[in-house]
Amino acid sequence: MTIQECYAALEGSYTEVLGRLYSEALVKKFVVKFLADQSYQLLESTLKAGDYEEAFRAAHTLKGVTQNLSFTKLYQSSHEITEALRTKEYDQAVQLFPKLEADYLQTAGAIRTFQSEQET
């Protein structure tokens, strides 16, 4: 899988991220580093615990990272949950989480496939 195919699989914009980072090597580096980011896991745990202030911080961080990497689909769902938390619409945020979870799993899966094929 090429990095362009990875972006297609996660429904992101390779052209946009390349315009931001200027180098395919940097794009590859930061895409793989995304897997180590704990914002999604923190968002999941804090939402379940009802710690909406910390959930907002985690969602906002995830939104920023996904925007910088042009992970378009995951950015959109993280933006929606961030705004629900910002406006204290906590029930809505909880209802939005399954969509974000599906988008995250799609993104992480595409990156893991890309990563494993790079190592062979």
Three-class HEC string of 55-114? HHHHHHHHHHHHHHCCCHHHHHHHHHHHHHHHCCCHHHHHHHHHHHHHHHHHHHHHHHHH
pLDDT grade for 119, boundaries at 50, 70 and 90: confident
Assess if residue 31 is contained within a domain: yes
Measured over all CA atoms, what is the biggest interatomic distance in the chain, rounded to whole angstroms? 47
Task: Summarize pLDDT for 35-75 with one digit per residue, the tens.
Answer: 999 999 999 999 999 999 999 999 999 999 999 999 999 99
Assess if residue 10 is contained within a domain: yes
What CATH number is associated with residue 24?
1.20.120
Write out the residue range of the structural domain in which residue 56 sits: 3-114
Assess if residue 105 is contained within a domain: yes
Assess if residue 120 is contained within a domain: no
User: What's the predicted TM-score (pTM) here?
Assistant: 0.94
User: How many domains, the chain?
Assistant: 1
pLDDT at 103 exceeding the cut of 80? yes
Assess if residue 119 is contained within a domain: no
Separation of alpha carbons 42 and 59, rounded Å: 9
CA angle (72, 35, 16) in 5-degree steps: 30
Q: State the helix-helix crossing angle for 90-118 and 72-86, rounded to 10 degrees.
A: 150
